[in-house]
Structure 1
Amino acid sequence: MTHELRAVVGTDPGLNRKGNEDAAYAGSRVLVLADGMGGHTSGEVASALAVDALRELDKEPHEDLTGALAAAVAEAGRRLNEHAPAGAGTTVTAMLWDGPRFGLAHIGDSRGYLLRDSILYQMTRDHTLVQTLVDEGRITPEEAEVHPRRSMLVRALQSGTTHEPDLSEHEAVPGDRYLLCSDGLTDVVRDEAIREVLDAVADPEAAVHQLIELANAGGGPDNITCVLADYR
């Protein structure tokens, strides 16, 4: 039996931002989400440059999934160095598929989730100051949620830096649902609420719409972008 990946993208500026610094792409082989930073114009440029570099992986199949992702992230960094304004940067969370196999690349505080058998797993680790403090046992996860510096990144793809992404390889199971999202969602919507939507709303477009509505109901303080993919 041949399985397929069905993916959709949804984005919204939120209630408190005039522009949208997020960028995303969903193709036959590549899913990518980037959340720009450095000010409205700079952030838009940085995220768009990153997504354009990653989406080129969709042109042909790749045997070495993580190697191809690492090269594409490096190319994105080169383009930021060459074309982005000083101080511009972006998160990058990307998946590169080959049948049931996929590679995952991640840098920043956007997130990748897997819903399998009604259980939600966070596949990525936030590259933030508060996550470092949690890992070191200096604060609890509950304290991290309200920490005044919870959005401070310790790693991102940024002009003038050479930070490497986290890389891993996985295998999908039919029935899996994958979500890439910016922190405009996760800063205001708890994991359990995300799990409930992903588990209950079968249609991907409707599920993305409901997640965005939840984020805006929570105040919509930032841009909200979701890439949702079902492996069937």
Structure 2
Amino acid sequence: MRLICAVVSDVGPHRRINQDAAFVAPWGAAVADGVGGGPAGDLASATIVHRMTAGWHGVDDVDELAVRVRSANWDLRARVDSDPSLAGMATTLTGLVVARGGGMLLVHTGDSRAYRLRDGELTQQTRDDSLVQALIDQGVIGDAEARSHPRRNIVTASLAGADDDRLWVIDADAAQGDRWLLCSDGVSDYLPDSVIDSALASATHPDDAAGALVRLAMDAGSRDNITAVVCDVASGVPVAEPPRFAGAAAIVFDDALEDTA
């Protein structure tokens, strides 16, 4: 399998800095969102995305992908060790990666999301690590209340450079013909599933779908950074080409983010 991907990331009308970072390539894609309330969210998300992709030679399975992401996470800790003012910076991460054997792997932590559109049916493939999701699970609030809950931006898991940061890596149920969406909460907090479904299903190419979702989120009053990555699963072997970056990952470039592999 290989991926045909597009990404659109916008700072949004209410933010000065884009703390979302993303990449797309035939062999994988991901979105990361700097955790609000902490310092340098743009640096955290860009660091994870760059380090995850640096010197990419592929992975065989979930364990190997987990090791790569954990290694990227250690770079966050190294940054804080060298600059204590960065203490507390953290990021979400949701990514889709083609394994060497041809299967697909899904990595996730935080409240960025992955959706899959298959045969006209949209299903959310990740579970939010968030306070609001915990309240939903406990029956305290419903899905409708969650969209406007004042504490919906509080995440319960993220990457912050610690050894015990929670991370989920699984074999994804992906097949040729699927269309996947990876997005920050600037999309998912403002668009109901019915709107996401329609935008993904009606677009001919991932570029059109990603652009439409970002525009729809803006029209819906999104007050966050807005990032949509749309990937079509196709047959064939993915070309080992360099990734394309978006958001903070396309802006934050310094010696520490360069590929030293």
Confirm or deny a common fold (TM above 0.5): yes
Moved more, 135-144 or 150-159: 135-144
Q: CA RMSD in A?
A: 1.8
Q: Greater RCO between the two (CA within 8 Å, min separation 6)?
A: 2
**How far apart are 1:73 and its partner, in Å?**
2.0
Partners of 2:196 and 2:153 lie apart in 1 by 20
**How far apart are 1:11 and its partner, in Å?**
0.5
**How far apart are 1:40 and its partner, in Å?**
8.7
Partners of 1:4 and 1:95 lie apart in 2 by 11
**How far apart are 1:9 and its partner, in Å?**
1.2
Output one character per residue of 1:113-156: Cα deviation in whole Å (capped at 9) or x when no partner. 10001111100000001101111222222222222211111111
Q: Which residue of 2 aligns with 1:8?
A: 6
Q: Quick one: which amino acid aligns to residue 59 of structure 2? A: H
Residue 73, structure 1, aligned to residue 75, structure 2: no
Unaligned runs of 5+ in 2: 81-85, 235-261
Change (3 A) 1:156 1:165: same
Q: Which residue of 2 aligns with 1:183?
A: 185
Q: Which residue of 2 aligns with 1:135?
A: 137
Output one character per residue of 1:64-108: Cα deviation in whole Å (capped at 9) or x when no partner. 2x1122112211221111114111110011111036511111000
Moved more, 111-120 or 38-47: 38-47
Instruction: Work out which of the residue numbers 1, 21, 24 in structure 2 matches 1:26.
Output: 24
Residue 61, structure 1, aligned to residue 61, structure 2: no
Change (3 A) 1:74 1:136: same
Q: Quick one: which amino acid aligns to residue 88 of structure 1? A: M
Q: 1:1-232 alignment to 2 at 5 Å?
A: 4-37=2-35, 42-56=40-54, 59-64=56-61, 66-84=62-80, 85-98=86-99, 100-160=102-162, 162-232=164-234
Unaligned runs of 5+ in 1: none
TM superposition score normalised by structure 1: 0.92
Moved more, 167-176 or 216-225: 167-176
Identity of counterpart residues, as a percentage?
38
Partners of 1:208 and 1:140 lie apart in 2 by 28
Partners of 2:180 and 2:92 lie apart in 1 by 18
Partners of 2:39 and 2:167 lie apart in 1 by 24
Q: Aligned with 1:158: secondary structure?
A: coil
Q: Aligned with 1:68: secondary structure?
A: helix
